[in-house]
């Protein structure tokens, strides 16, 4: 007697994997939120979330500028530690520079607040 499987093992994993990922993200969020305690106005999480729209708008611009500047420096980017340094620097500049721009330039002037909907 031959047993007919409707799905092979790879397809079973492909069906279940998204639900495992969703469950993992929910549980990770719960455990992270328990450790935060009270979030006040000066916490770094509030500073990043207040700038999230501007980070969304400008992160690719500043990541590109940082990447171009790092490629001008004669590093051998084939080495793993140079790659890791460059990657971390690019991502950080894509977040930090838009936050600085939001805090000290865009919120300061009425015209930029109107243009960017702040």
Query: Is 49 a domain residue?
Result: yes
1 occurs within a structural domain: no
53, part of any domain: yes
Residue 109 is assigned to a structural domain of this protein: yes
Cβ neighbours around 23 below 10 Å, total: 10
Q: What is the mean pLDDT of the chain?
A: 77
pLDDT 10s digits, 22-65: 888 888 877 777 766 666 666 667 777 777 888 888 888 888 89
Q: Do the domain assignments include residue 30?
A: no
Q: Per-residue pLDDT for 73 more than 60? A: yes
Q: How many domains does the chain have?
A: 1
Q: Assess whether pLDDT exceeds 80 at residue 98.
A: yes
Q: Is residue 75 part of a domain?
A: yes
Task: Return all residues near 57 (Cβ < 8 A) that are at least 6 apart.
Answer: 98, 116
pLDDT band at 14 (very low <50, low <70, confident <90, very high): confident
Share above pLDDT 70 across residues of the chain, in percent, rounded to a whole number: 78
Domain assignment present for residue 34? The answer is no
| Stated pTM of the model | 0.56
Whether 59 is in a domain gets the answer: yes
Owning domain of residue 65: 40-116
For the residues 2-27, what does the mean pLDDT come to?
72
- 77's tokens: 């980017």
């Amino acid at each position: 007697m031959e047993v007919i499987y409707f799905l092979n093992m790879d397809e079973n994993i492909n069906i279940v994997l998204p639900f495992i990922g969703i469950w993992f993200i929910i549980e990770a969020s719960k455990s992270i939120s328990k450790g935060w305690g009270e979030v006040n106005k000066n916490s770094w999480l509030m500073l990043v979330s207040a700038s999230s729209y501007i980070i969304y708008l400008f992160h690719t611009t500043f990541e590109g500028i940082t990447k171009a500047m790092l490629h001008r420096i004669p590093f051998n980017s084939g080495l793993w530690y140079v790659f890791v340094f460059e990657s971390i620097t690019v991502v950080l500049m894509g977040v930090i520079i838009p936050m600085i721009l939001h805090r000290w330039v865009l919120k300061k002037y009425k015209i930029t607040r109107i243009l960017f909907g702040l």
